[in-house]
A and B are shown apart, each in its own frame.
With several copies, the nearest count.
Chain A
Amino acid sequence: MYSEKVMDHFTNPRNVGEIKNADGIGEVGNPKCGDIMKMYLKIEDGVITDVKFKTFGCGAAIATSSMATELVKGKTIEEALKVTNKRVAEELGGLPSAKLHCSLLAEQAIKAALLDYAKKNNIEIEELKDFDPNEDPHHH
């Protein structure tokens, strides 16, 4: 069902946990739908220096959270914004079609955390102008 890479990230998820005094925190999903993702970012000079997550969800949700944190760690905000759910799924060697929506969750959690960071620091991030972290990815 899941690729080896997915199983690897599911079994040994990278960057699990919380960051005390995080610069940006994003939470997306909805327990009603069975999945919630919480993303913590540490940002210095426009670069993501640390990232952690917590996820309530299926194997794909956990694996995509883990992969997404790997993909944004050490990257600039601009680079991080280019980490789409498609990209995460590709890096994982693909996902079953019924599980694609779980990867959307990871993309959104990062964006939500960046949005939080922007708000706290009174920055305007052009790419996040229309982003709504409370939108339910299941209904896309």
Chain B
Amino acid sequence: MATKVYMDYAATTPVKKEVLDSMIPYYTEKYGNPSSVYSLGRESRKTIDESREKIANILGANPKEIYFTSGGSEADNWAIKAVAMANKDKGNHIITSKIEHHAVLHTCEYLEKHGFEVTYLDVDEYGMVDLEQLKKSITDKTILISIMFANNEIGTIQPIKEIGQIAREKGVYFHTDAVQAVGNVKIDVNELNIDMMSMSAHKIYGPKGIGALYIKKGVKIDPHIHGGAQERKRRAGTENVAGIVGFAKAMELAYENLEEHISKLTKLRDKLINDVKNKIDYVRLNGHPEKRLPGNASFCIEFIEGEALLLNLDMAGIAASSGSACTSGSLDPSHVLMAIGLPHEIAHGSLRLTLGDFTTEKDVDYVVEKLVEIVDRLRQMSPLYEK
């Protein structure tokens, strides 16, 4: 069935019309290589500079601190691996949390195989890291703290400013994966004490395959891709000009109407959460009740399994996601749901509904209606559910 209601904005978003329109000329008539000296090339260079400036201004950064990458995963990999490599004479210890995106976790695991030590901080039942545990974990071998801004599964927003403060006091670099926070939270990198920050365009109505790493001036970090002189010799490769333009446009749109976006999404999300809780029993909300992304509603629905739920929702034209292990055919449910202390069988029944700029109240009503039916049907065939 064709998708009637898209409720997976945290997975990716459609490209907004204004964004696509801004990109098209850079595929067709304005195709010059930004490294070329002739006018067609200089025009591309100028466009990249302007895009970089737009993004920097929104984040309170200097344009020279914004480095374009192919997305959030590359930005995470770069920040962590290249700070580790560049500072290994200072120390070999990295601190992160148990609920990071795999782009951070698997990178840390890779570094563990190459002589680095990693502390994975616990989180509480709401997904919050403990600042005291963080402080205690810092040793004189610690070179980097990497804690995500907002979690992609349960939506919890961390106390970034305080974490940055602790890092700065101890002279340790602080990287944050802000892929989910960008476009949903006001961010000033200096105010929040951030040294490096990962971003991705396709989560904010921009194109897939483009993102950026903010690197504060003075941070000691190796280049990520060697080659041409692009991105101030730190990330070689002919620039994805159209992608960069689209990313900047998406940022502009997101921050032009941030307040409105947040209040609209928060209202819809709260309605969704309340309706689900009122109409379905044995449901719990995952993540922090207040400190959460405006569009994130993450549930555990007991006695049923996530993949079966998603397939049924799909058949009703609803796009959603789950942290169930069965979604990937693997054994363990999402590490995030495990980290907030959910038992396996409950984590298996997780459902993530994420709302976005095109979500309407009617969509919410439709999803709740269908969800009630489907949950009922699946519970009827569940050996765990006894009325």
Contacts and interface: CB of A to CB of B under 8 A. Distances in A.
Answer yes or no: are A and B bound together in one complex: yes
Contacts of A62: 308, 381
A134 B2 CA distance: 41
Nearest to B310: A59
Contact of B326 (A16, A38, A54, A58): A58
A55 interface: yes
Interface in A22-53: 27, 31-38, 53
Contacts of A27: 383
Nearest to A65: B381
B340 to A, nearest CB: 17
Interface stretch (B218-226, B248-256, B328-336): B328-336
Main secondary structure of the interface of A (DSSP, over half): mixed
Contacts, number: 77
B324 interface: yes
Nearest to A54: B383
B303 A34 contact: no
B311 A37 contact: no
Given A1-B42, A34-B333, A62-B308, A55 B383 contact: yes
A38 B308 CA distance: 17
B303 A56 contact: yes
A34 B302 CA distance: 11
Contacts of B307: 58-59
A1 B380 CA distance: 25
B348 interface: yes
A10 interface: yes
B345 A16 contact: no
B37 interface: yes
A96 interface: yes
A112 B381 CA distance: 19
A62 to B, nearest CB: 6
Contact of A34 (B326, B380, B382): B326
A32 B333 CA distance: 9
A56 B304 contact: yes
Interface in B305-328: 305, 307-308, 311, 315, 324-328
Interface string B119-144: 00000000000000000000000000
B288 interface: no
B344 interface: yes
A73 interface: no
B345 A32 contact: yes
Nearest to B328: A98
B40 interface: no
A13 interface: yes
B330 A54 contact: no
A3 interface: no
A87 interface: no
A35 B326 contact: yes
A34 B344 contact: yes
Contacts of B348: 31, 34, 56
A16 B42 CA distance: 29
A57 B305 CA distance: 5
Contacts of B311: 2, 7, 10, 59
A86 interface: no
B308 A58 contact: yes
Given A32-B344, A33-B331, A138-B331, A56 B382 contact: yes
B338 to A, nearest CB: 11
B273 to A, nearest CB: 24
Contact of A31 (B326, B381, B384): B384
Listed residue (A1, A34, A38, A96) with the most chain B CB atoms within 10 angstroms of its CB: A34
30 contacts: A1-B42, A16-B381, A27-B383, A32-B343, A33-B331, A34-B305, A34-B324, A34-B326, A34-B331, A34-B333, A34-B344, A35-B305, A35-B326, A38-B383, A54-B381, A54-B382, A54-B383, A55-B383, A56-B345, A56-B382, A58-B305, A58-B308, A58-B324, A59-B307, A59-B308, A61-B305, A61-B326, A96-B329, A101-B329, A138-B331
Given A16-B380, A57-B308, A61-B308, 15 more contacts: A2-B311, A31-B345, A32-B344, A32-B345, A34-B345, A36-B383, A53-B381, A54-B383, A56-B383, A57-B305, A58-B305, A58-B307, A58-B308, A59-B307, A98-B328
Interface of A: 1-2, 7, 10-11, 13, 16-17, 27, 31-38, 53-59, 61-62, 96, 98-99, 101, 138
